[in-house]
C-alpha cells in the first residue's frame, strides 16, 4: 500500500526561494521525509463575513503520492480550483524583486471512526477532502488513508480541533500529475470559500514533526475590508500595513474566482522566522482596529506570552493591508505573472 507523507502546512500564500520546494500551508506528509516544507504561503482574504482561502499545492517530489492536512476555521461552502496568478501577484506586491508560485464536489460520505467526510473534490491530480472531527479521530482517519504521521501529529491536530473541528486533507497523485504534463515545481491552486466571523491563521502546524531547534520561515498575507487588529506570539514581524493598491486589486479581480474582490481593501504582510520550539501559537485577527482579537484564536490559554505585531518604524515601511497568507519559498520567472495578466486583459478586451 502506498504511504503518504504528511507535512505541516499553514493557511497562507506560497512563496519560493531559489532552489527551494514550495508546499501549501498545513501539515504535509511523505514517506521517509521525502517532501520537505521550506517556506509556506497562502491567501486568506476576508470580506463581508466570508473568508476566501487560496493556497497552492506544488508538485515537488518524486513520490507517487503525498499529501497535506490543513486546519480550517469553519466549514467551507465551496472547494474549487484557484486562480492562475493570485498568489504570485500578492508576493510581487510586497516584494517586487521576489516572485511567488504559490472538480466537481462529491456528496458527503458517511462518518468514519468519528470523522465526517463532508466534501470530496478532485482538482486535476489533487484529491481534496473536507473533514469534521476531533484531532485524534482525524489523525486515525489520515493513518487509515496511508498518511505517515509523525508522533506529535495527533496532539497538534487536537490543538486545532478544540477551536474548530474542520480540516482539509489534500492528496497529490504524482503519477497522474506527470500524465497531465505537470512538472516538478508546478502547482495546483485551491480556493476555499468559508463563512466565518473572524479568521485565524494556523502557524503552529508548520512545526509538526520538526526538531525544536529548526527554523520555521513563513510569509503571511491578509486582505480585509479595513485595517485589522492582530495578536500572536513573538517572532512574527509586521512588515507592511496599508491600503491595497488599485493595481493589485484590479489584477486580483481579473483572476479566476476572484470577481468578489471589492474596489478597496486593506493589505497586511507579516513574516515569521521562529524556532520550532517557540512556535506554539497561531495568528488571531479581528475585522477592524475597533475590535480586539480573541486570545483563544491564538491557541494559547494565557495572554501573557502574546504580543501585538507592530511595524518596525526604522524599516521605513508603511501601514499593512489585510491578506492572510503563510508563504513557502518559491521563485518564479519575473515575466510570468505579467504575461498571464496581459493575456487576461486581452481576453477581457476581446469579450467587450
Choose among 28, 344, 1: nearest CA to 172.
Answer: 28
Q: What does residue 339 show for φ and ψ, rounded to 5 degrees? A: -65, -45
Grid coordinates in use for 16?
Answer: 519560493
Give residue 62's pLDDT band: very low, low, confident or very high (50, 70, 90): low
Highest mean predicted confidence (pLDDT) among 8-22, 127-141, 163-177, 209-223:
127-141
Paired strand residues for 341? none
User: How far is residue 268 from each of residues 2, 144, 224, 237, 321, measured CA to CA in Å?
Assistant: 40, 39, 8, 11, 3
pLDDT tens profile 242-262 = 999 999 999 999 999 999 999
Which pLDDT does position 344 carry in this prediction? 44
d(CA 100, CA 181): 21
Paired strand residues for 165? none
pLDDT tens profile 282-305 = 999 998 899 999 999 999 877 778
d(CA 69, CA 169): 4
d(CA 43, CA 60): 20
What's this model's pTM, rounded to 2 decimal places? 0.72
Which residues contact residue 228 at a Cβ distance below 8 angstroms, ignoring those fewer than 6 apart? Answer: 222, 266, 268, 285, 286, 287, 288, 289, 322
Choose among 278, 282, 185: nearest CA to 231.
Answer: 282
Name which of 253-267, 300-314, 321-335 the model is least confident about.
321-335
Provide the residue ranges of all domains of the chain, joining segments of one domain with +.
4-351
Amino acid at each position: 500500500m502506498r504511504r503518504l507523507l504528511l507535512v505541516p502546512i499553514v493557511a497562507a500564500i506560497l512563496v519560493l526561494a531559489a532552489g527551494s520546494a514550495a508546499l501549501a500551508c498545513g501539515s504535509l506528509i511523505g514517506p521517509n521525509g521525502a517532501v520537505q516544507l521550506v517556506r509556506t504561503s497562502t491567501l486568506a482574504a476576508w470580506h463581508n463575513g466570508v473568508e476566501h482561502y487560496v493556497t497552492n499545492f506544488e508538485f515537488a517530489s518524486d513520490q507517487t503520492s503525498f499529501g497535506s492536512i490543513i486546519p480550517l476555521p469553519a466549514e467551507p461552502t465551496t472547494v474549487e480550483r484557484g486562480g492562475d496568478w493570485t498568489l504570485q501577484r500578492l508576493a510581487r506586491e510586497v516584494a517586487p524583486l521576489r516572485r511567488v508560485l504559490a472538480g466537481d464536489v462529491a456528496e458527503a460520505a458517511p462518518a468514519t471512526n468519528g470523522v465526517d467526510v463532508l466534501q470530496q473534490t478532485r482538482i486535476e491530480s489533487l484529491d481534496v477532502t473536507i473533514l469534521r472531527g476531533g484531532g485524534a479521530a482525524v489523525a486515525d482517519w489520515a493513518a487509515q488513508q496511508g498518511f505517515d504521521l509523525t508522533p506529535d501529529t495527533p496532539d497538534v491536530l487536537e490543538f486545532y480541533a478544540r477551536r474548530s473541528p474542520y480540516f482539509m486533507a489534500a492528496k497529490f497523485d504524482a503519477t497522474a500529475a506527470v500524465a497531465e504534463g505537470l512538472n516538478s515545481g508546478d502547482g495546483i491552486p485551491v480556493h476555499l470559500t468559508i463563512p466565518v466571523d473572524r479568521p485565524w491563521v494556523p502557524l503552529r502546524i508548520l512545526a509538526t514533526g520538526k526538531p525544536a531547534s529548526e527554523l520555521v520561515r513563513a510569509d503571511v498575507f491578509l486582505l480585509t475590508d479595513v485595517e485589522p487588529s492582530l495578536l500572536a506570539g513573538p517572532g512574527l514581524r509586521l512588515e507592511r500595513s496599508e491600503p491595497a493598491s488599485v493595481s493589485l486589486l484590479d489584477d486580483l479581480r481579473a483572476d479566476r474566482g476572484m470577481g468578489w474582490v471589492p474596489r478597496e481593501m486593506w493589505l497586511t504582510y507579516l513574516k515569521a522566522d521562529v524556532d520550532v520550539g517557540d512556535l506554539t501559537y497561531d495568528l488571531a485577527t479581528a475585522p477592524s482596529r475597533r475590535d480586539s482579537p480573541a486570545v483563544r484564536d491564538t491557541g494559547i490559554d494565557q495572554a501573557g506570552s502574546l504580543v501585538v505585531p507592530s511595524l518596525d518604524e526604522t524599516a521605513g515601511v508603511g501601514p499593512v493591508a489585510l491578506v492572510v497568507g503563510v508563504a513557502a519559498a518559491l521563485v518564479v520567472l519575473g515575466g510570468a505573472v505579467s504575461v498571464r495578466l496581459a493575456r487576461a486583459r486581452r481576453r477581457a478586451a476581446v469579450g467587450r
